[in-house]
């Protein structure tokens, strides 16, 4: 029998901004995600346009606090009011770990407040206590697309150096408060994503920087996040003995379309773009190829004295990542079909099937990713997001999602191969998302990922009742046997 390592951390992943709802309750302030508008005529082949947010969009969002239809993250799946029921269901599946994020604006409603909001702190105390009841370890992301909106409006988001100080204050507050309850932490979700969606990740709005090179603005903000991440690691280790802090990257994978050396070179270059961010957080310094990119593109990052030392001194303990799909690249793209991926476009791989949203399903790519990341870093790995967004149908209280089981079965087999045959050290796995929630890229509810169906549609209509899908029972068996060999 091929089994996963003893103590393997099986579980599920979520994020406050896509799940909680209760967006203006309990003293919570506005976060950037509360202004993320639904695009009902969603075009997955045009992600770039979808991620564009202007100052006018924000004005409109602020003018309509009652609008839950156009701003679906305001209601999410209403975990804020259902957390006890949801955690009970996670426990029923046998979860060992639950990945969630803390909404910064629940703790510091404006980001720059001097004192934290007690009601917000108490909410997460209650969530952690509920998890503890079932021996489920929380894995907490400190920042998952949730910068308080005030930091955008008053400081220009992470472009401002001052935001590092506000983040430090927030991190110190949550580490002190939850030091006996949370051992596993991630600093920034997909820290690289600030380049693809600067507003959600970094609170950056392009039209606020009329005379600047916006790419430089994004990299400057990312520099501030790298320094903040290192400081968060330091704070976390000081306050919580034995705490483990990880970085989190989007593990996109690009294969060469052909064996033409030009295509291979292009895929190598693209892959370096992916690793640049984990290289920085693991080795504690910018890789030379990223510095060359800055130089060749006239990008000037302002560093303060001590930044390099801080980044070097406090690298992460483990490497976590999301993995959903792969795509191809070619030097000459003429005539090659394109397809959507995780907020990026890529070339279609003729050997792979795709999800209904065009993301190419590639379980072997997960094994390749594990091997590459482990060989590169020699640090424990954690898959903190992986899953299939699909249109599920609820019929008589049941969802027959064999397609999702098939997706997981193939990915889990490749994880086992990586652990047993390739010698990869894998700490755990949290599926995205263990319960249906609002999609980040499309803001749809109908792009469902969960083992648990939530009865809400794209317009926020529904009972919000929870239902176990067929995949719920299948995942329960995997966790129970710590193996796939029960089938």
Distances (CA, A) of 21 to 30, 31, 58, 341, 462: 12, 12, 19, 27, 14
Count of residues in the chain: 487
Pick 430 or 442: Cβ nearer ligand BG6: 442
Active site includes 190? yes
Q: Which parts of 316-375 interact with ligand BG6 (CB under 6 A)?
A: 322, 342
- In whole angstroms, give the CA distance from residue 331 to residue 350: 17
Minimum distance between the CB of residue 146 and ligand BG6, rounded to whole angstroms? 11
SS3 321: strand
Determine how many CB atoms are found less than 10 A away from the CB of residue 240.
19
Q: Spell out the residues 6+ positions from residue 203 whose beta carbon is closer than 8 angstroms to its own.
A: 32, 147, 149, 151, 152, 156, 157, 158, 163
What angle is formed at CA 342 by the lines to CA 53 and CA 293, rounded to 5 degrees?
A: 75
- In whole angstroms, give the CA distance from residue 51 to residue 36: 9
Active site includes 385? yes
Minimum distance between the CB of residue 279 and ligand BG6, rounded to whole angstroms? 19
Q: In this chain, which stretch among 45-53, 132-140, 155-163, 435-443 interacts with ligand BG6, using CB under 6 A?
A: 435-443
Q: Which of 130, 137, 146, 190 is catalytic?
A: 190
Query: Which residue of 160, 439, 471, 482 would you call a contact of ligand BG6, by CB under 6 A?
Result: 439
Minimum distance between the CB of residue 264 and ligand BG6, rounded to whole angstroms? 27
Pick 439 or 471: Cβ nearer ligand BG6: 439
Q: Which parts of 231-260 interact with ligand BG6 (CB under 6 A)?
A: 250
Q: In this chain, which stretch among 129-137, 207-215, 307-315, 433-441 interacts with ligand BG6, using CB under 6 A?
A: 433-441
Pick 367 or 447: Cβ nearer ligand BG6: 447
Q: Which of 385, 421, 440, 487 is catalytic?
A: 385
Residue 219's φ and ψ, nearest 5 degrees, are: -70, -30
Determine how many CB atoms are found less than 10 A away from the CB of residue 37.
17
Closest-by-Cβ residue to ligand BG6 is 441
Diameter of the chain measured on Cα atoms: 63
Pick 278 or 442: Cβ nearer ligand BG6: 442
Binding mask 256-295 for ligand BG6 (x = CB under 6 A): ----------------------------------------
Pick 160 or 441: Cβ nearer ligand BG6: 441
Residue 453's φ and ψ, nearest 5 degrees, are: -85, 135
Pick 13 or 419: Cβ nearer ligand BG6: 13
Q: How far apart are the first and last CA of the chain?
A: 11
Query: Which residue of 432, 451, 472, 475 would you call a contact of ligand BG6, by CB under 6 A?
Result: 432
Q: Judged by CB under 6 A, does residue 101 bind ligand BG6? A: no
Owner of token pair 């206590």 = 129
329's torsion region: left (phi>0), alpha (psi -120 to 50) or beta?
Answer: beta
Instruction: Note whether 28 and 158 are within 8 A (CB).
Output: no
Minimum distance between the CB of residue 357 and ligand BG6, rounded to whole angstroms? 7
- In whole angstroms, give the CA distance from residue 413 to residue 367: 9
Pick 311 or 456: Cβ nearer ligand BG6: 456
Q: In this chain, which stretch among 102-110, 206-214, 363-371, 438-446 interacts with ligand BG6, using CB under 6 A?
A: 438-446
What angle is formed at CA 352 by the lines to CA 347 and CA 353, rounded to 5 degrees?
A: 105
Q: In this chain, which stretch among 26-34, 276-284, 286-294, 434-442 interacts with ligand BG6, using CB under 6 A?
A: 434-442
Q: Which parts of 130-189 interact with ligand BG6 (CB under 6 A)?
A: 189
Among 95, 98, 96, 2, residue whose Cα is nearest residue 419: 2
Beta strand segments in 352-395, E: 381-385
Q: Judged by CB under 6 A, does residue 385 bind ligand BG6? A: yes
Q: Judged by CB under 6 A, does residue 436 bind ligand BG6? A: no
- In whole angstroms, give the CA distance from residue 433 to residue 449: 5
Point out the residues that are catalytic. Answer: 190, 385
User: Which residues lie near ligand BG6 (CB under 6 A)?
Assistant: 15, 18, 189-190, 250, 322, 342, 385, 389, 432, 439-442, 447
């Amino acid at each position: 029998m091929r089994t996963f390592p003893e103590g393997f951390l099986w579980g599920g992943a979520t994020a406050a901004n896509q799940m909680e709802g209760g967006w203006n309750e309990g003293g919570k302030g506005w976060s950037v995600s509360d202004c993320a508008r639904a695009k009902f005529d969603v075009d997955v082949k045009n992600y770039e346009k979808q991620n564009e947010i202007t100052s006018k969009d924000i004005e409109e969002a602020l003018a309509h606090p009652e609008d839950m239809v156009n701003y679906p993250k305001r209601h999410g799946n209403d975990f804020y009011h259902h957390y006890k029921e949801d955690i009970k269901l996670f426990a029923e599946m046998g979860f060992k770990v639950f990945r969630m994020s803390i909404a910064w604006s629940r703790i510091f409603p404006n980001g720059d407040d001097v004192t934290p909001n007690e009601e917000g702190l108490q909410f997460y105390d209650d969530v952690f206590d509920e998890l503890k009841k079932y021996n489920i370890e929380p894995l907490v992301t400190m920042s998952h697309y949730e910068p308080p909106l005030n930091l955008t409006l008053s400081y220009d988001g992470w472009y401002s150096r001052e935001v590092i100080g506000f983040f430090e204050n927030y991190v110190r507050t949550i580490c002190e408060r939850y030091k006996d309850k949370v051992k596993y932490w991630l600093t920034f979700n997909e820290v690289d994503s600030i380049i693809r969606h600067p507003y959600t990740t970094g609170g950056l709005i392009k039209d606020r920087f009329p005379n600047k090179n916006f790419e430089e603005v994004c990299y400057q903000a990312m520099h501030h996040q790298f320094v903040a991440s290192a400081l968060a690691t330091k704070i976390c280790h000081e306050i919580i003995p034995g705490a483990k802090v990880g970085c989190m990257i989007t593990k996109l994978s690009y294969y060469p379309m052909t064996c033409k050396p030009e295509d291979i070179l292009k895929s190598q270059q693209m892959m370096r773009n992916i690793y640049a961010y984990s290289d920085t957080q693991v080795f504690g310094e910018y890789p030379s190829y990223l510095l060359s990119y800055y130089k060749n593109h006239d990008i000037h990052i302002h560093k303060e004295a001590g930044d390099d030392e801080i980044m070097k001194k406090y690298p992460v303990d483990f490497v976590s990542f999301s993995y959903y799909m792969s795509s191809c690249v070619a030097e000459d793209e003429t005539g090659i079909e394109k397809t959507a991926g995780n907020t990026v476009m890529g070339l279609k791989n003729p050997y792979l099937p795709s999800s209904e949203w065009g993301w190419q399903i590639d379980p072997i790519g997960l094994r390749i990713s594990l091997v590459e990341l482990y060989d590169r870093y020699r640090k424990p790995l954690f898959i903190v997001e992986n899953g299939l967004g699909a249109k599920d149908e609820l019929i008589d209280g049941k969802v027959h999602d064999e397609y999702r089981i098939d997706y997981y079965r193939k990915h889990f087999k490749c994880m086992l191969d990586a652990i047993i045959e390739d010698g990869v050290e894998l700490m755990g796995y949290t599926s995205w998302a263990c319960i249906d929630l609002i999609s980040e890229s499309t803001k749809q509810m109908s792009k469902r990922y969960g083992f648990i169906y939530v009865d809400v549609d794209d317009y926020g209509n529904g009972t919000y009742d929870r239902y176990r899908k067929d995949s719920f029972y299948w995942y329960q068996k995997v966790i129970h046997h710590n193996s796939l060999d029960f089938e």
